[in-house]
Structure 1
Amino acid sequence: MKRFGIFAVIIVLISGFLGLGIKSLNQASGQGNADKTLTIFNWGDYIDPQLITKFEHETGYQVKYETFDSNEAMFTKIQQGGTAYDIAVPSDYMIEKMRKAHLLVPLSKQKIVGLSNIEPEFLDQSFDQHNQYSVPYFWGTLGIIYNDRYVKASEMQHWRDLWQPKWRNSIMLVDSARDIMGLALVKDGASMNSTNQVQLQKAATDLDQLAPNVKAVVADEIKMYMSDNEAPLAVTWSGEAAEMLANNSHLHYVVPSEGSNLWFDNIVIPRTVKHKKAAYAFINFMLQPKNAAQNAEYIGYATPNRLAKRLLPKAIREDKQFYPDQQTVRNLQVYQDLGPTWVQRYNDLFLEFKMHK
């Protein structure tokens, strides 16, 4: 009995150790699989799917890709913390807001390869000085699209041209308070980030005077209207414009030289990150000139990667509509996070304009 008991104990102990070993191996295997995952939170259709496949093949990471349709929706979901996003792609002013809300992880520059590929003029912006939290992904502008069937190039070069009486019921405006209030501000020489009540009221009054010329204030519908020659003019973003111009050779895009918005979408690492190594691998992958060029050609937005730009077809990289000259770029303004009070003021004035319309 005693020998049997000892033998039994030995068997139990051996089984236990084996069981622990197997369990440990399983845990390691499971953890290994988990560690080979990268969860990306991005705008819809904002990366060439072939690049996702290429990244997975080259690195062994499996990408989980989720999308959002506004910076505010992205902010709320990351703030709630329900999903462990490793990478997100917010716009400029939202980075400042996320930083203030402690939703971003500072970047370890020593882990990033290729940041020097970015044009210096697109680094060290006011919303993220020294790029402590973000890496530029795409950039673009706010501008005017015109149809040469109805509008001559000489007739539409400045924001003030939109106010001409001849364009009555002709203009499509993107449904964006900061952008439409912004163009009215910059038309009069004011900052697109103005918190001057007199300037804001003047911009609102100017928009009321523009109202008879406005056909509609819409979002994605602008693409259909302009592509189908159903409106002579529109105000929208350069990336949207690129898609429209590709569908209709009569369309042209102009950035008024007196100033407009310079926007950036940027790669960041949210505080929800679970796989930092994968996040840095993705950042480095997207900084590679060949990958950045492929992405820019697929999406149609301007790349901030100077080496990638050289790889683009000449017709794209020399297109002043989407890669404006330095003089125009110098007059562009980046939106700042104005805080809830002033953001609400912009929204209220814009809503009054839409109701007046």
Structure 2
Amino acid sequence: MKKLIALACAIIVACLGLAVGSNRLSASTGDTGGNTLNLANWGDYIDPKLIKKFERETGFHVNVETFDSNEGMYTKVKQGGTDYDLTVPSEYMVAKMRKEGLLVRLDKSRLHGLSNFGTAFMNRSFDPDNQYSIPYFWGTLGIIYNDRYVRPGSIQHWDDLWARKYRGDIMLIDSARDIMGMSLVSLGKSVNTTDRPTLVAAKAKLDALTPNVKAVVADEIKMYMEQDEAAIAVDWSGEASEMLGENKHLHYVVPSEGSNLWFDNLVIPRTAKHYKAIYAFLNFMMRPENAAQNAEYVGYATPNDKAKALLPAAVRHDRQFYPDAQTMQHLEVYDDLAPKVVREYNDLFLEFKMYRK
């Protein structure tokens, strides 16, 4: 009996040793196995039907956790209390996470579809040679107006918002970089300005806009604009697309003098574990038919040129959401500014909001 027990113990120890060795091998090759993919994404930012399609095709199960700000997602990844395999930061956050060692370099030998993307969306300053990120969606900051209250074509530039006739008519997105950036561009300055006197001047110009501002809010803008309860709003192109789909009297304008060009991107955070699922998902989402379906569902512009070709002509040629080359030349991507400068933007924007009261 003792020999049997000893033999059994030896077998158990051997099995445990094999298991440990297997786990070490998996870790060393960048994959811990399992049939799960943990995706951290913005709310309602992927077609649920695509998730189901991916699960059916691959056998991987997708867990989706949503976040409402780049900063909130960044904090979770940095603290290490998550098990995200993929997440979707904006361009400036990609730069920040890359610099801080929070991202895993892409193994391009496992990727199939990078050639589908337009050159304008690759090799950007926030991630040279796309070592860490794959474009997901892109868009702009612009002006939405309702032709029930605003003569069509009468708003084309940021300075138009300061006209007295729009008193109490304008909704602003609650975002320091965007609204300070809007004011900076109206002064002929860059959205990445770091010079304090120039930032103070931009804030002073915002103060002058106060009589025209109905509210500074976030998601509420959609309700107000869709239900004809506001005449004008400053918001992102994807949000504008949803609004225009609900109200035929709405129009979207990207001022030709400049604005923000933003990118959301798929990246692998350092918390990742399920590499087979990760690369299967990245390749799945780069397939033109899937990227086109996602673009139609979400309403944002796709950087995938082969996917864009599959969209309805009315969408492909819509200058509101796919601006012409001349307008694109004046659009700027947000830089990852130094923390001190970011605080200045936030503090000045807060002062503007308090000034309104």
TM-score for both structures, normalised by structure 2: 0.93
Deviation at 1:308, TM superposition (A): 0.1
Write out aligned runs for 1:222-301 (5 A): 222-301=221-300
Q: How big is each residue's C-alpha offset from its partner over 1:51-88, in whole Å with a ceiling of 9 and x where there is no partner?
A: 11111111111111111010000000001111121101
2:107 is aligned with 1:108: yes
1:303 corresponds to: 302
Write out aligned runs for 1:90-109 (5 A): 90-109=89-108
Which structure has the larger Rg? 1
- The CA distance in 2 between the partners of 1:80 and 1:240, in whole Å, is 31
1:181 corresponds to: 180
Deviation at 1:11, TM superposition (A): 3.7
Deviation at 1:181, TM superposition (A): 0.4
- The CA distance in 1 between the partners of 2:318 and 2:61, in whole Å, is 36
- The CA distance in 1 between the partners of 2:344 and 2:83, in whole Å, is 34
Asked if 1 retains the 8 angstrom alpha-carbon contact of 2:183 and 2:202, the reply is yes
Deviation at 1:22, TM superposition (A): 8.0
Q: How big is each residue's C-alpha offset from its partner over 1:168-207, in whole Å with a ceiling of 9 and x where there is no partner?
A: 1100000000000001111121100001222212211111
- The CA distance in 1 between the partners of 2:17 and 2:231, in whole Å, is 67
| Amino acid in structure 2 at the alignment position of 1:192 | V
State the 4+ residue runs in structure 1 displaced beyond 6 angstroms: 20-29
- The CA distance in 1 between the partners of 2:118 and 2:138, in whole Å, is 11
1:143 corresponds to: 142
1:58 corresponds to: 57
Instruction: Provide the secondary structure at the position in 2 that maps to 1:96.
Output: helix
CA separation of 1:206 and 1:33: change in aligned 2, threshold 3 A: closer
Q: How big is each residue's C-alpha offset from its partner over 1:218-256, in whole Å with a ceiling of 9 and x where there is no partner?
A: 011101110110111000000111111111110010100
Structure 2: tracts of 5 or more residues without a match:
none
CA separation of 1:49 and 1:33: change in aligned 2, threshold 3 A: farther
CA separation of 1:24 and 1:290: change in aligned 2, threshold 3 A: farther
Deviation at 1:153, TM superposition (A): 2.5
Deviation at 1:163, TM superposition (A): 0.5
- The CA distance in 1 between the partners of 2:325 and 2:10, in whole Å, is 69
2:356 is aligned with 1:339: no
Asked if 1 retains the 8 angstrom alpha-carbon contact of 2:33 and 2:276, the reply is no
| Amino acid in structure 2 at the alignment position of 1:316 | V
Deviation at 1:334, TM superposition (A): 0.3
Q: How big is each residue's C-alpha offset from its partner over 1:34-64, in whole Å with a ceiling of 9 and x where there is no partner?
A: 5211111111111011111111111111111
| Amino acid in structure 2 at the alignment position of 1:346 | Y
- The CA distance in 1 between the partners of 2:100 and 2:11, in whole Å, is 48
2:319 is aligned with 1:320: yes
Instruction: Provide the secondary structure at the position in 2 that maps to 1:154.
Output: coil
- The CA distance in 2 between the partners of 1:166 and 1:352, in whole Å, is 25
- The CA distance in 1 between the partners of 2:234 and 2:268, in whole Å, is 32
- The CA distance in 2 between the partners of 1:342 and 1:241, in whole Å, is 29
Deviation at 1:115, TM superposition (A): 0.6
2:124 corresponds to: 125
Deviation at 1:9, TM superposition (A): 4.9
Structure 1: tracts of 5 or more residues without a match:
1-7
- The CA distance in 2 between the partners of 1:317 and 1:193, in whole Å, is 30
1:134 corresponds to: 133
Instruction: Provide the secondary structure at the position in 1 that maps to 2:168.
Output: coil
Deviation at 1:25, TM superposition (A): 9.9
Instruction: Provide the secondary structure at the position in 2 that maps to 1:155.
Output: coil
| Amino acid in structure 2 at the alignment position of 1:342 | V
Q: How many pairs align?
A: 349
Deviation at 1:154, TM superposition (A): 2.4
Asked if 1 retains the 8 angstrom alpha-carbon contact of 2:32 and 2:273, the reply is no
- The CA distance in 2 between the partners of 1:130 and 1:334, in whole Å, is 16
Instruction: Provide the secondary structure at the position in 2 that maps to 1:327.
Output: helix
Asked if 1 retains the 8 angstrom alpha-carbon contact of 2:91 and 2:126, the reply is yes
Instruction: Provide the secondary structure at the position in 1 that maps to 2:139.
Output: strand
2:161 is aligned with 1:162: yes
- The CA distance in 2 between the partners of 1:78 and 1:33, in whole Å, is 18
- The CA distance in 1 between the partners of 2:7 and 2:156, in whole Å, is 83
| Amino acid in structure 2 at the alignment position of 1:73 | G
- The CA distance in 1 between the partners of 2:85 and 2:74, in whole Å, is 14
Asked if 1 retains the 8 angstrom alpha-carbon contact of 2:32 and 2:275, the reply is no
1:5 corresponds to: none
